[in-house]
A and B are shown apart, each in its own frame.
Chain A
Amino acid sequence: FQDQAEQFFRSGHTNNWAVLVCTSRFWFNYRHVANTLSVYRSVKRLGIPDSHIVLMLADDMACNPRNPKPATVFSHKNMELNVYGDDVEVDYRSYEVTVENFLRVLTGRIPPSTPRSKRLLSDDRSNILIYMTGHGGNGFLKFQDSEEITNVELADAFEQMWQKRRYNELLFIIDTCQGASMYERFYSPNIMALASSQVGEDSLSHQPDLGIGVHLMDRYTFYVLEFLEEIHPASQTNMNDLFQVCPKSLCVSTPGHRTDLFQRDPQNVLITDFFGSVRKVEITTEAVSLDRDVAGFESKFLEEELATEPLKYAEQLPVAQIIHQKPKQKDWHPPGGFILGLWALIIMVFFKTYGIKHMKHVF
């Protein structure tokens, strides 16, 4: 019982959010929409409701005039899996998927008229999954073929989220060419990042479907999807298994991951901590005392994990300093020697031109 109770305190989050972004438009980028929709399906299946998912798709493939099978988006050839379905809720569609909107969603700086479905209403106990796919390069990700978001902007947005206490832990997955460059610049705590390829490598697509005429999925997301199909809400699979997904033999590119900013050991992080919204509910008839033992275990657990000082949110305003501030004084004054020299010169010039006879009027 105590073990199960202790597991309750393991991860520290109380709600899950997902921000899934596909940044490419045009029919031949079908696979990016399929990528995002596959992750959407998995995340919904594992329990995150639509109200906690912000889905941004830059183009509409299901109703594209070139789609031979309208109202469907397939992720596997021979049309095995339709990831579009009946209950897809796209929050940002078509031209609304811009760098500005994406950053506004992340940082919460949204105009008051935005509907709830378009907001990321996370708090400091939220675990957020951010999945991005599209075309990218070394240090940037292309949006809509007209603008880019850089890794620095993304890192700064995450820092804003940290300072505004908008996440507990963040998992960032990116499936683009040279994806590892996007997580290079992160500097906020509690972020774990995965990418489909290293800097200098391209992420490749999986397989074309001759019926639809385009590539249906990217390799990395295809194998991640296969991996996620095995996960159910009660799985104990941890992040280390996710890091092993799609080795170079299958993916041709080398997937990368970054865990140095993350407080917990990836071994102890469940997949469902990010991909699902898992509530462990056990109905008992006995009372369990949680005060001493579990707290003791918790502190022991904390001591093991956090050898360094626990993270604190920065003090937003140094109130004590502000209320006792004295008014600013002008600190600089011209040196006395300068003033003396200047006025001596001026007086000399005056007397040289007007004659010495005026001196007696001065004294």
Chain B
Amino acid sequence: MAAPLVLVVLAAVTVRAALYRSSLAAFIAERVEVASPLNAWKRVVEGLALLDLGVSPYSGAIFHETPLIIYLFHFLIEYAELVFMITDVLTAVALYLAIQDFNKVVFKKQKLLIELDKYAPDVAELIQTPMEMHYIPLKVALFYLLNPYTVMSCVAKSTCAINNSVIAFFILATIKGSAFLSAVFLALATYQSLYPLTLFAPALLYLLQRQFIPIKLKSKSFWLYTMQYASLYLCSLVVIICLSFFLLNSWDFIPSVYGFILSVPDLTPNIGLFWYFFAEMFEHFSLFFVCVFQINVFFYTIPLAIKLKEHPVFFMFVQLAIISIFKSYPTVGDVALYMAFLPVWSHLYRFLRNIFILSCVLIFCSFLFPVLWHLWIYAGSANSNFYYAITLTFNIGQILLISDYFYAFLRREYYLTHGLHLTRQDGTEAMLVLK
């Protein structure tokens, strides 16, 4: 499988290099869908320039990246394009290896459950075979590298690519089973943008499953392992934050990075839901609604953990999607990361109900974003409501996509244990309904 992967990587690198050399690079770099105040390349350059002038980059409201990014780009700023291409390639390779391992785990688990007779007799067509699972890792890498969203995000040199790479390595470490590395990478991801904190739960569930520790609240080994993992994670986070203090000898970066993410002061339009709401809100309500919106991101973790505790990797996928829909400054780079996982659940295709309309919605909205931006900002014949409408539609499309996959997944699990042809008590055919 190495050769096709190398080919895919080469194709992706060629596309990116071609776009870097073309005139589209400048146009894409300033699009609000691709560059948000958190991860725009312009701001990184500005922050480094301020540092050269002897001013702390966090002194204004320009630079909202972490000190480790300052350190990284201080030496690599001339090779920025190479750095971002390599980052994308590393992400794809990490996802490839992760999904390869995950497929092995899925297959092993499936075999175990078949031998234990947990599956109903007529579900032969639902069982995944190694033949169809063989190309999934390659498809995942392909989906990530050649996704137009990723390409645009790379050409715009948005640091979202670095965040995606760290999350991909975190997923790889989790699936390989190394609690220490997974905690370190999760700490790095949380350190950069606060929201991967919610990925703690699925990672913990996966590692517990791998260690064969049953997830019961009374079990001592469960709490022991949880404490170990949590302490590894928190210690790494604290160590990284303290290390960043020593870069500039100040704690300025904490309000600039985390305060900025949480309090959402910058209301530049993006593909998220925060900006319009807060642009038209009265001052005395804004604190309340900021809290509501931020809690909304973290809120789905516990219910999903309860429902999906047997399937932590799917939980991770849904959680990633929720982060990239509901975070305060989403960009298409975040969308690209969870979309890379879609080939892993391609066996759910027969249970997806709205996939055609949702893919149409997502594609049309992606094309309408620049159109309505132009109409609003340049032509002056539209206003912010138009752009917000497309934002809303895009996010609704994403939410419906995720809930569709969620429903399909649960339905397949139900069919696996209860058989494909469901009958009611009196023998007539029954329909499965998600309540």
Q: How many whole Å from A212's CB to the nearest CB in chain B?
A: 42
Is B184's CB under 8 angstroms from A338's CB?
A: no
Given A334-B71, A334-B74 in contact, is the A353-B178 Cβ separation under 8 Å? yes
Any chain A CB within 8 A of the CB of B23?
no
Within 8 A of A (CB), among B328-365: none
Is B246's CB under 8 angstroms from A353's CB?
A: no
For A332, the chain B residues whose CB sits under 8 A away are 51-52, 54, 74
Any chain A CB within 8 A of the CB of B249?
yes
Any chain B CB within 8 A of the CB of A341?
yes
| Contact mask for chain B residues 301-324; partner A; CB cutoff 8 A; 1 contact, 0 none | 000000000000000000000000
Q: How many whole Å from B306's CB to the nearest CB in chain A?
A: 32
Q: How many whole Å from B415's CB to the nearest CB in chain A?
A: 40
Q: Which listed residue (A331, A333, A335, A352) contacts B246, Cβ 8 A?
A: A335
Q: A352 CA to B51 CA in the complex, in Å?
A: 35
Q: A153 CA to B74 CA in the complex, in Å?
A: 41
| Contact mask for chain A residues 323-363; partner B; CB cutoff 8 A; 1 contact, 0 none | 00000101111110111011001000100110000000000
Q: How many whole Å from B178's CB to the nearest CB in chain A?
A: 6
Specify which of B181, B184, B239, B246 lies most central, judged by the most chain A CB atoms within 10 Å of its CB.
B246
Q: Which listed residue (B51, B54, B184, B249) contacts A349, Cβ 8 A?
A: B184
Q: Which listed residue (B54, B71, B178) contacts A338, Cβ 8 A?
A: B71
Q: A328 CA to B181 CA in the complex, in Å?
A: 41
Is A330's CB under 8 angstroms from B52's CB?
A: yes
Any chain A CB within 8 A of the CB of B69?
no
Q: A40 CA to B181 CA in the complex, in Å?
A: 85
Specify which of A331, A333, A338 lies most central, judged by the most chain B CB atoms within 10 Å of its CB.
A338
Any chain A CB within 8 A of the CB of B20?
no
Q: A331 CA to B52 CA in the complex, in Å?
A: 5
Output the nearest chain B residue to A332 by Cβ-Cβ distance.
B51
Interface size class of B (residues with CB under 8 A): 10 to 19
Within 8 A of A (CB), among B371-429: none
Q: A270 CA to B239 CA in the complex, in Å?
A: 78
Q: How many whole Å from B409's CB to the nearest CB in chain A?
A: 32
Given A349-B181, A349-B184, A353-B180 in contact, is the A338-B246 Cβ separation under 8 Å? yes
Q: How many whole Å from B326's CB to the nearest CB in chain A?
A: 31
Any chain A CB within 8 A of the CB of B247?
yes
For B54, the chain A residues whose CB sits under 8 A away are 331-332
Output the nearest chain B residue to A350 by Cβ-Cβ distance.
B181
For A335, the chain B residues whose CB sits under 8 A away are 246-247, 249
Output the nearest chain A residue to B55 by Cβ-Cβ distance.
A332
- Looking at chain B's contact residues, the main secondary structure is helix
Is B247's CB under 8 angstroms from A353's CB?
A: no
Q: How many whole Å from B55's CB to the nearest CB in chain A?
A: 10
Q: Which listed residue (B180, B239, B247) contacts A352, Cβ 8 A?
A: B180
For B243, the chain A residues whose CB sits under 8 A away are 338, 341-342, 345
Q: A89 CA to B51 CA in the complex, in Å?
A: 58
For A337, the chain B residues whose CB sits under 8 A away are 246
Q: A335 CA to B245 CA in the complex, in Å?
A: 11
For B239, the chain A residues whose CB sits under 8 A away are 345
Q: A335 CA to B71 CA in the complex, in Å?
A: 10
Output the nearest chain B residue to A344 by Cβ-Cβ distance.
B243
Q: A349 CA to B181 CA in the complex, in Å?
A: 7
For A341, the chain B residues whose CB sits under 8 A away are 243, 246
Q: A75 CA to B247 CA in the complex, in Å?
A: 75
For B178, the chain A residues whose CB sits under 8 A away are 353
| Contact mask for chain B residues 237-249; partner A; CB cutoff 8 A; 1 contact, 0 none | 0010001001101
Q: How many whole Å from B239's CB to the nearest CB in chain A?
A: 7
Q: A333 CA to B51 CA in the complex, in Å?
A: 9
Is A353's CB under 8 angstroms from B74's CB?
A: no
Is B71's CB under 8 angstroms from A353's CB?
A: no
| Contact mask for chain B residues 201-244; partner A; CB cutoff 8 A; 1 contact, 0 none | 00000000000000000000000000000000000000100010
Q: A341 CA to B74 CA in the complex, in Å?
A: 17
Q: A88 CA to B149 CA in the complex, in Å?
A: 66
Within 8 A of A (CB), among B241-259: 243, 246-247, 249
For A352, the chain B residues whose CB sits under 8 A away are 180
Q: A349 CA to B246 CA in the complex, in Å?
A: 20
For B180, the chain A residues whose CB sits under 8 A away are 349, 352-353
For A333, the chain B residues whose CB sits under 8 A away are 74
Q: A342 CA to B70 CA in the complex, in Å?
A: 13
Output the nearest chain A residue to B247 by Cβ-Cβ distance.
A338
Output the nearest chain A residue to B176 by Cβ-Cβ distance.
A353
Q: A304 CA to B376 CA in the complex, in Å?
A: 63
Given A334-B247, A349-B181, A353-B178 in contact, is the A342-B52 Cβ separation under 8 Å? no
| Contact mask for chain A residues 12-37; partner B; CB cutoff 8 A; 1 contact, 0 none | 00000000000000000000000000
Q: A353 CA to B51 CA in the complex, in Å?
A: 35
Q: How many whole Å from A84's CB to the nearest CB in chain B?
A: 41
For A353, the chain B residues whose CB sits under 8 A away are 178, 180-181
Q: How many whole Å from A325's CB to the nearest CB in chain B?
A: 15
Q: A347 CA to B68 CA in the complex, in Å?
A: 16
Output the nearest chain B residue to A353 by Cβ-Cβ distance.
B181
For B249, the chain A residues whose CB sits under 8 A away are 335
Q: How many whole Å from A358's CB to the nearest CB in chain B?
A: 15
Q: A341 CA to B71 CA in the complex, in Å?
A: 13
Output the nearest chain B residue to A342 by Cβ-Cβ distance.
B243
Output the nearest chain B residue to A335 by Cβ-Cβ distance.
B246
Q: How many whole Å from B366's CB to the nearest CB in chain A?
A: 38
Q: How many whole Å from B177's CB to the nearest CB in chain A?
A: 11
Output the nearest chain B residue to A340 by Cβ-Cβ distance.
B246
Q: A328 CA to B53 CA in the complex, in Å?
A: 10
For B52, the chain A residues whose CB sits under 8 A away are 328, 330-332
For A330, the chain B residues whose CB sits under 8 A away are 52
Q: A345 CA to B71 CA in the complex, in Å?
A: 15
Q: How many whole Å from B90's CB to the nearest CB in chain A?
A: 15
Q: How many whole Å from B172's CB to the nearest CB in chain A?
A: 12
Q: A289 CA to B52 CA in the complex, in Å?
A: 63
Within 8 A of A (CB), among B59-74: 68, 70-71, 74
Q: How many whole Å from A267's CB to the nearest CB in chain B?
A: 51
Output the nearest chain A residue to B173 by Cβ-Cβ distance.
A353
Q: A352 CA to B239 CA in the complex, in Å?
A: 16
Q: A293 CA to B99 CA in the complex, in Å?
A: 100
For A334, the chain B residues whose CB sits under 8 A away are 70-71, 74, 247
Q: A352 CA to B184 CA in the complex, in Å?
A: 12
Output the nearest chain B residue to A349 by Cβ-Cβ distance.
B184
- Can you pick out 17 interface pairs between chain A and chain B where the beta carbons lie within 8 Å of each other? A330-B52, A331-B53, A332-B51, A334-B74, A335-B247, A338-B246, A338-B247, A339-B71, A341-B243, A341-B246, A342-B71, A342-B243, A345-B243, A349-B180, A349-B181, A349-B184, A353-B178
11 additional contacts (CB under 8 A) given A335-B246, A341-B243 = A331-B53, A331-B54, A332-B52, A332-B74, A333-B74, A337-B246, A338-B247, A342-B71, A342-B243, A349-B181, A352-B180
Residues of A within 8 A of B (CB): 328, 330-335, 337-339, 341-342, 345, 349, 352-353
Residues of B within 8 A of A (CB): 51-54, 68, 70-71, 74, 178, 180-181, 184, 239, 243, 246-247, 249
